Amino acid sequence: MLRRVHHRTALFLAVLLLSTASLAAPFPDVLEASPAQATPGLQVVFTNTTHRFLTVAPSGTAYALKLGDSTSRLYASTDGARTWTLKGRTPLGGSFHVISALADGTLLADIERAGAHYLARSSDGGASWSEVLALGNYRLLTSRNIAELDGTVYLLEYQAFTSQNAPLRLHASGDQGRTWKVRQVFEGHRHGHGLAVDPARHALWAFFGDNIQQSAILRSTSKGSNWKRVLSGQQALVVTAAVLDDGSLLYAQDINWLPGRPHIAQLSPDGTYVELNPLSGAAYSTYRLRAGGFVAGVAREPLGDAYAPSEESAHVWASLDGVDWVALLHYPRLNPNENVRADVYEELPSGLLVLQLQNARGFGPGGMGYQLVRFLRP
């Protein structure tokens, strides 16, 4: 079986797999879709220009920062991210950057104070916090830098203090984030973009960037102690990915520079790689809905030659099956010298998606805010 299939041959491969009954499709979640696909829709049902959304706990309680207020003050919503009340503060006056909610409701936050980053923990819904891990110059990129698998919580570091290779640590906790130990140190990369888990196969995926030499997708079935490099180079540039039922990854690529162009791609654990759909720019998020369907948040960065000359917007792409994608929502950038982003990392218990916006024209300070979006299935 071919290990890498580029976009010029991806369509041929899909047709061949669909028409040859004797061949077992390597990507049954995606490539067995009907050739005549209906088109999904995305309906914005609520817009907020006063808060920066952070995360939602399994209980449905959502957390955010209030734009213009101190970033040490955390707000919570119990009505589906419609109204917000002050919930708690960071310890020692630090600033909230990223929050991840564990399955039991424990909150883990990247906070910054005095120029250093710390992991803080709350077991009472964000009312009180304690610092549990000193990260120094390292931090989290998104909530997907933290993942749970088989009773262990993992944290993959991200850094922005050098463009050169930097050692990146994988921290592990067996007590819901109270204490941590370094499980692995990765060399030869610049960024620890994020993690994804495959509970059915007890597998942990890790994503690294940021240039062609530093980028890689790794997979571990030994609780993060040993790793297999599944894909390297520009094709492996990914921030977040969805794990499909067959154990493969579906992801929108984080590619800004030629020779490659960004695509929706699929990668199996054995390294089989297929490009499924071209995208308008580098992506920061790929999300699989609980009820079925996918969305991808595609940014417009100020630099990069993989964009069309007229491109000035972030886009939200959607798909029913992971193969056929359409750009449905568009957000022009406010400042041409900053990234404009529109990303989905969270889904409310109601099924509404939380679209987090940055540097988007018509939103709050810095183009920040969020929208609640309904995924429409024909």
pLDDT tens string 232-277 = 999 999 999 999 999 999 999 999 999 999 999 999 999 999 999 9
Domain ranges, residue 342: 1-16+37-56+239-378
pTM across the whole model = 0.89
Residue 295 within any structural domain of the chain: yes
pLDDT of residue 38: 80
**Which residue ranges of the chain lie beneath pLDDT 50?**
1-36
Tokens of 56: 């939602």
CB-based contacts of 291, cutoff 8 Å, min separation 6: 351, 375, 377
pLDDT of residue 37: 59
Quote the strand ranges of 123-243, DSSP E. 130-136, 146-149, 152-156, 168-173, 181-186, 191-198, 203-209, 216-220, 228-232, 242-243
Residue 41 within any structural domain of the chain: yes
Measured CA distances, 165 to 22, 186, 233, 234, 260 (Å):
46, 10, 14, 16, 22
Task: Confirm if 312 and 373 have CB atoms less than 8 A apart.
Answer: no
| DSSP-derived secondary structure for 82-108 | SS-EEEEE-GGG-EEEEEEE-TTS-EE
Domain count, the chain: 1
The amino acid at residue 360 is A
For residues 248 and 266, give the distance between their C-alpha atoms in angstroms, rounded to a whole number. Answer: 7
Residue 115 within any structural domain of the chain: no
pLDDT of residue 210: 86
Would you put residue 270 in left (φ > 0), alpha (ψ -120 to 50) or beta? alpha
For residues 14 and 33, give the distance between their C-alpha atoms in angstroms, rounded to a whole number. Answer: 10
For residues 208 and 206, give the distance between their C-alpha atoms in angstroms, rounded to a whole number. Answer: 7
Tokens of 221: 């079935």
Residue 173 within any structural domain of the chain: no
For residues 197 and 224, give the distance between their C-alpha atoms in angstroms, rounded to a whole number. Answer: 11
The number of residues making up the chain comes to: 378
pLDDT of residue 26: 28
Residue 174 within any structural domain of the chain: no
CB-based contacts of 150, cutoff 8 Å, min separation 6: 199, 202, 223
For residues 222 and 228, give the distance between their C-alpha atoms in angstroms, rounded to a whole number. Answer: 10
Residue 256 within any structural domain of the chain: yes
User: Which residues does residue 21 pair with via DSSP β-bridges, in sequence order?
Assistant: none
Residue 225 within any structural domain of the chain: no
First-last CA distance in the chain: 35
Residue 180 within any structural domain of the chain: no
